[in-house]
Structure 1
Amino acid sequence: MVRFENVGLRYGTEREVLSDISFQLHRGRFYFLTGPSGAGKTSLLRLLYLAQSPSRGEMTLFGEDAANLPRAARPALRRRIGVVFQDFRLVPHLTVYDNIALPLRLGGVSEEEMTGPVDDMIDWVGLSASRNARPETLSGGEQQRVAIARAVITRPDLLVADEPTGNVDPDMAVWLLRLFGAMNRLGTTVVLATHDMTLMGRMKDASVMRLERGRLTDPTGALRNPPQSWTPSEENGEPW
């Protein structure tokens, strides 16, 4: 589903922040991206969700040559990708409902068609009581749940998450991981950047890619294609 071959990335005239990155992501699998601060995790994710183009190398997403994709063709490809940012990036003047509904509205879905799915998603992430609240009134964990719901409301083929548990307590981190696991079980390929080894240990069969100074130290982590398992016994309902 995703293939990088000798990809490099530099900003301006500075040295490369990513060098000779090669890996494959298989459909319906769960991947952790880890490494120390400054290793290039966010830059690699930006390539994955098409916020950045590589400086060199081959990059294929969903069978398309994403490295040389015309600007006009990018929105259609981006609609197949959900993104969860560490800083949430919620629209402050919109309610929980409207933040989650935003991708559907941008995609031309009618208000009548979206009400049921959005309400189901709000219930799924445990925010029914905050349906009409604005982000500033929510806790960090609640804001992150809104961000996740917004990212997955369109059932993306690929879900990219940049340190989504970095600003929440350990219990909330596990709860959020369950949401990602549920989405993965529905067929979405998940790439989750984290440095939390305890969190990674909860997904026993997930593949792990490790970045060090802009290079993958274990590129085979993304080439493995193991069966998936989910270790916590609790299961969340799914809104589809």
Structure 2
Amino acid sequence: MSGSEGEVVQFDNVGLRYGTDREVLSNVSFTLYPGRFYFLTGASGAGKTSLLKLLYLAQRPSRGAIRLFGTDVITLPRERLPAYRRRMGVVFQDFRLVDHLSAFDNIALPLRVSGVREADLQGPVSDMLDWVGLANRADARPATLSGGEQQRVAIARAVIGRPDMLVADEPTGNVDPEMALKLIRLFEALNRLGTTVVVATHDVHLLRKVPDSLIMRLDKGALSDPTGALRYPPRRVGAGE
């Protein structure tokens, strides 16, 4: 697959196996373009989470090539990987909140890591808490939050820094349908600002909620292309849209 300037992600014949087991991903090739909204779908066990791990650099492939933001990340020294991870927001299935931090401080964490002054945190974090319906839970620790509330904190933390790419693994799995739609609208708003969004979901109803989205479907580790996601050209993004 040939490359072009401005691609966010490029996979070329990527395979992944754990230990000596058979490959969980086989010959996966695709390109993700700036400012597009992608759904990754497939049955349980199809390999969605494994593919996302490769995307956010938590796993190296067994074979093939991966370029992220124009850089070959397979040969990149490990000490340089954090700089690329900071350009991504990730929503994990198991949330990965920091237990001893409040909801406010969990959401503020990416901003603090990037050097935002404390005086400039209050407004953005409070706005995000309000958006995900947790304005009255700002001081709550994760252990006192329900699964759905923890999910919303994790999502707020992932998007608050307006990352170049958002990767979300079943982000609506622990919330009711009304909140699920609200969260998808949040992802859409971020997407309109130029962020490339990748949402893994088994919920086929969500696929129809974002009219301009592209769908990548995994089946037993192989990728299919029902909406042209693997060959769709970049669209213009920015203030003019």
Fold shared per TM-score above 0.5: yes
* Matching residue of 2:39: 32
Q: Is the 8 A contact 1:34 1:41 kept in 2?
A: yes
Q: 1:156 aligns with which of 149, 163, 168?
A: 163
For the 8 Å contact 1:206–1:226, the answer to whether it is kept is no
CA drift at 1:196: 0.8
Give 2:34's aligned amino acid. Answer: R
Does 1:223 pair with 2:231? yes
- Tell me how far apart the structure 2 counterparts of residues 51 and 222 of structure 1 sit (CA, whole Å): 22
The answer for the alignment partner of 1:43 in structure 2 is: 50
Distance 2:76 2:84 in 1: 10
Paired AA for residue 230 in structure 2: A
RMSD between aligned alpha carbons?
A: 1.7
Equivalent position SS for 2:58:
coil
Aligned to 1:77: 84
Where structure 2 has 5 or more consecutive residues not aligned to the other structure, the ranges are 1-7, 237-241
Match of 1:189 among 190, 196, 220: 196
Contact 1:205 1:227 in 2 (8 A): no
Q: What is the aligned partner in structure 2 of residue 165 from structure 1?
A: 172
- 1:115 Cα shift? 2.6
Correspondence list, 1:50-199, <5 A:
50-199=57-206
- 1:154 Cα shift? 1.5
Counterparts of 1:163 and 1:97 in 2: how far apart (Å)? 23
Deviation at 1:226, TM superposition (A): 7.8
Could you list the structure 1 runs, at least 4 aligned residues long, displaced by more than 3 angstroms after superposition: 225-228
Mapped to 1, the partners of 2:66 and 2:80 lie a distance apart of 15
* Letter of the structure 2 residue corresponding to residue 141 of structure 1: G
Give, in whole Å, the separation in 1 of the partners of 2:132 and 2:143: 18
In the alignment, which residue of structure 1 is the partner of 2:4?
none
Mapped partners of 2:40, 2:105: distance in 1: 31
Aligned residues: 228
For residue 5 of structure 1, report the CA deviation from its aligned partner: 0.7
Q: Is the 8 A contact 2:46 2:220 kept in 1?
A: yes
Q: What is the identity, as a one-letter code, of the residue corresponding to 1:92?
A: D
Matches of 1:61 and 1:98, distance apart in 2: 29
Instruction: Describe how 1:6-25 pairs up with structure 2 within 5 A.
Output: 6-25=13-32
Q: TM-score with structure 2 length normalisation?
A: 0.89
Q: Letter of the aligned partner of 1:127 in structure 2? A: L
Asked whether the equivalents of residues 29 and 225 of structure 1 are also in contact (C-alpha less than 8 Å), the reply is no
Whole-angstrom distance in 2 between the partners of 1:170 and 1:124: 16
SS at match of 2:49: helix
> Residue 23 of structure 1 aligns to a residue in which SS?
strand
Change over 3 Å in CA distance of 1:225–1:206 after alignment to 2: farther
Q: Is the 8 A contact 2:25 2:221 kept in 1?
A: yes
- The normalised TM-score by structure 1 is 0.89
Q: What do the CA deviations read for 1:5-37 (whole angstroms, capped 9, x no partner)?
A: 101111122221111000010101100000011
